[in-house]
């Protein structure tokens, strides 16, 4: 295995650990407030909501030809996608028992987004160190 692939795999593994820790913290937060029964269905609904959100952005963008397709992609990504993402989490939170408020549903919807942003910053910060390690091993 190439050392570069090893570094990417290591970062992916550590990212997965960060996701699990974030989910454990989030679960504990809602357990303290007596809303674990509502947290679980909203968190599980994240996967189908994510698939529908991605389809709602990608399908219209791919069906539009040329550079207009890129414009459609960005317009939908920054308008329809966030509205649908947070709105769908809010609806599932309202339907859960006990009912979750918009802020609690938004916290559940926003936490994976914030984790991805944080991991992007960490990856950007670690990139020069990773290239130095690859150069020292003679792989770069």
Q: Could you tell me the pTM of the whole model? A: 0.88
Containing 132, the helix (H) or strand (E) segment is helix 102-137
The domain ranges of the chain are: 10-137
pLDDT category, 86, cuts 50, 70, 90? Answer: very high
Q: Return the pLDDT at 140.
A: 65
> Mean pLDDT score of the chain, rounded to an integer?
95
Q: Are 93 and 38 in contact (CB under 8 A)?
A: yes
Q: Return the pLDDT at 72.
A: 97
Closest CA to 89 of 63, 73, 108: 108
CA 31 – CA 111 distance, rounded (Å): 17
pLDDT single digits (tens) 8-61? 999 999 999 999 999 999 999 999 999 999 999 999 999 999 999 999 999 999
């Amino acid at each position: 295995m190439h050392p570069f692939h090893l570094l990417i795999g290591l970062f992916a593994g550590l990212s997965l650990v960060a996701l699990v820790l974030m989910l454990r913290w989030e679960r504990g937060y809602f357990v303290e407030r007596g809303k674990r029964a509502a947290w679980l269905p909203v968190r599980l609904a994240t996967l189908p909501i994510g698939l529908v959100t991605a389809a709602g952005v990608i399908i219209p963008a791919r069906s539009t030809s040329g550079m207009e397709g890129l414009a459609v992609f960005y317009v939908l990504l920054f308008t329809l996608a966030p509205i649908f993402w947070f709105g769908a989490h809010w609806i599932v939170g309202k339907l859960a028992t006990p009912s979750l408020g918009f802020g609690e549903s938004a916290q559940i919807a926003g936490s994976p987004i914030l984790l991805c942003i944080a991991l992007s910053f960490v990856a950007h910060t670690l990139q020069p160190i990773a290239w130095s390690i690859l150069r020292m091993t003679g792989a770069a």
